Amino acid sequence: MAGLKTPFHQLHIDAGARMVDFGGWDMPINYGSQIDEHHAVRTDAGMFDVSHMTIVDVTGAQAKAYLQKLLANDVAKLTESGKALYSGMLNEQGGVIDDLITYYINDEFYRVVVNASTREKDLKWMTEQAQAFGVSVAHNLNFAMLAVQGPNAIAKTQQVMSEQQRQDCADMGVFFAVESEGFFIARTGYTGEDGYEIMVPLNAVDKFWQDLIDAGVKPCGLGARDTLRLEAGMNLYGNDMDETVSPLVANMGWTISWEPEERDFIGRAALTAQKAAGVTEKLAGLVLEGKGVLRSHMKVVGEDGSEGVITSGTMSPTLKKSIALARISKTAGETVMVDIRGKQVPAKVVKPSFVRKGKALV
Amino acid sequence: MSDIPSELKYASSHEWARLEEDGSVVIGITDHAQALLGDVVYVELPEVDAEVGAGDEIAVVESVKAASDIYAPISGTIVEVNETLEDSPETVNSDSYGDGWMFRIQPSDAAELDAMLDAEAYAESIADE
């Protein structure tokens, strides 16, 4: 394996990880059973190395104005230090360049976390757009990143924190972050459970990992990460949306901040035109009642004869049924037919969210 | 290092075969195959009494990662399938040579079983994977 290694690499090997290539990174797909790891996050606490993701620090007097142009959601909503915002970053055609989370530190400093697979593209785009604003766009390489998720994740993480860190995190609300003793601790996640996503100083990685293992947190790989996020109805860039897909058909309409009208974010004109022409598709959830596994790229035919496509599919360990996200016509109806290796199999159309806080929604 | 019992026969497509006392042959997938697949979530087995030819696609194993076709390593008639895999597909992972067996064939040509790989030859074939 000749891929890029995160600061946790040897720890994964020591924990018995099965390593795979993920976009040029050498990452753990599981540590034995991705289904066990999935259940650990839904019922207890699991941790994921997400150090391959990209931290971009935006600083300067015009940081806010820059991000208000760059992002479809509005960072002006962030008024309290540490508050976070999920947004799409669009191109001029209204397609999605990436989805990301922005943390507001102060008016001249925002921390943005973008995907691993889009790192080069995003940094290039963000730097180009920064020219007009004179802000600094810096790729921050000083941290490893670990997501600790599950109903017991916060309690177990707080057990291994210092007293100061415990105090700084006490009563921290969802979608907030705090800097404490060199760690950047955010109450965000990609699993549908409570927990933290933590930026860890490079010299603290080994001890932090071991302390969490001793506290009963289970290492979890990319396999479980995908089944968890899909159950939670969370998009995966590259599958559920990409540069050719509008946020309006990717279940991201709620992340577009249209007011104030004067805020001309990149992609606004294209989205306005799309709405005027009428948006005919949506990203829906599918549940397979019978046996089999829904997978991306499978064709879907609606009750109205319209054609759609599955963008992400898997077997849901919590529901013990196959689930999927699919881009289908708004008039596809309540049941669609999925082409599973040549057989037409019915699937129920639901809202694109299947499990929340460990409970089935479908 | 995966488990490759010496008393079984193998196909390079990762099926194993065991000759029973009554002349029928029990078939499943190897430990190497189940590790590559990851957690098995669904197994589609052939119909009992189906006639199959060596090399036919006759079963499907679905893991979270992907669907994999299983090929009949020998020709004959399906006389039994492992119905417990319907409720417990993960047995393919936990006991691939025992309770994870998939189907039993009454062979039409005894020579085909002899032509399959022995444990050493199978081990060599997967050494490069």
From first to last of its 129 residues, chain B has per-residue pLDDT tens of 579 999 999 999 999 999 999 999 999 999 999 988 988 989 999 999 999 999 999 999 999 888 899 999 999 999 999 999 998 999 999 999 999 999 999 999 989 999 999 999 999 999 876
What are A94's two structure tokens? Answer: 């209204």
3-state secondary structure (DSSP) of residue A120:
helix
Q: Read off the pLDDT of residues A191-239 as tens digits, 9 standing for 90 and up.
A: 999 999 999 999 999 999 999 999 999 999 999 999 999 999 999 999 9
Q: Enumerate the β-bridge partners of residue A61.
A: none
Q: Model's pTM, two decimal places?
A: 0.90
**ipTM score:** 0.73
Interface contact B62-A35, CB threshold 8 A: no
Name every chain A residue with its beta carbon within 8 A of the beta carbon of B35.
Answer: 18
Name every chain A residue with its beta carbon within 8 A of the beta carbon of B45.
Answer: none
3-state secondary structure (DSSP) of residue B12:
coil
Interface contact A293-B62, CB threshold 8 A: yes
3-state secondary structure (DSSP) of residue A93:
coil
Task: Sort strands A46-49 and A218-219 into parallel, antiparallel or unpaired.
Answer: parallel
Given a cut of 80, is residue A311 above it in pLDDT?
A: yes
pLDDT at B127: 86
Residue B40 dihedral angles phi and psi, to the nearest 5° = -80, 130
- Give the pLDDT band (50/70/90) at residue A291: confident
Q: Read off the pLDDT of residues A238-255 as tens digits, 9 standing for 90 and up.
A: 999 999 999 999 999 999
Question: Where do runs of H (alpha helix) occur along chain A?
Answer: 9-14, 34-43, 63-70, 119-130, 153-160, 163-169, 205-214, 222-231, 268-277
Q: Which of B35, B41, B93 sits opposite A315 (nearest CB)?
A: B41
Closest CA to A23 of A327, A238, A197: A238
What is the mean predicted confidence (pLDDT) over A277-289? 97
Interface contact A34-B44, CB threshold 8 A: no
Interface contact B42-A292, CB threshold 8 A: yes
Amino acid at A103: Y
**Dist CA A63 CA A86 (whole Å):** 17
pLDDT at A341: 86
What is the mean predicted confidence (pLDDT) over A85-106? 98
Burial of residue A271, with CB atoms counted within 10 A of its CB: 0-12 exposed, 13-18 middle, 19 or more buried: buried
Given a cut of 90, is residue A271 above it in pLDDT?
A: yes
pLDDT at B6: 94
Interface contact A35-B64, CB threshold 8 A: yes
Q: Is the N-terminal amide bond of B89 cis, ω within 30° of 0?
A: no
- Give the pLDDT band (50/70/90) at residue A127: very high
Interface contact B39-A33, CB threshold 8 A: yes
Stated as kind and residue range, the H or E segment containing B10 is strand B9-10
With pLDDT > 70 as the criterion, what percentage of chain A qualifies? Answer: 99
Name every chain B residue with its beta carbon within 8 A of the beta carbon of A35.
Answer: 39, 64, 90
C-alpha distances in Å from residue A130, one per residue of A65, A115, A134: 10, 19, 6
Residue contacts between A and B (CB atoms, under 8 Å): 33
Name every chain B residue with its beta carbon within 8 A of the beta carbon of A295.
Answer: 66-67
Q: Enumerate the β-bridge partners of residue B49.
A: none
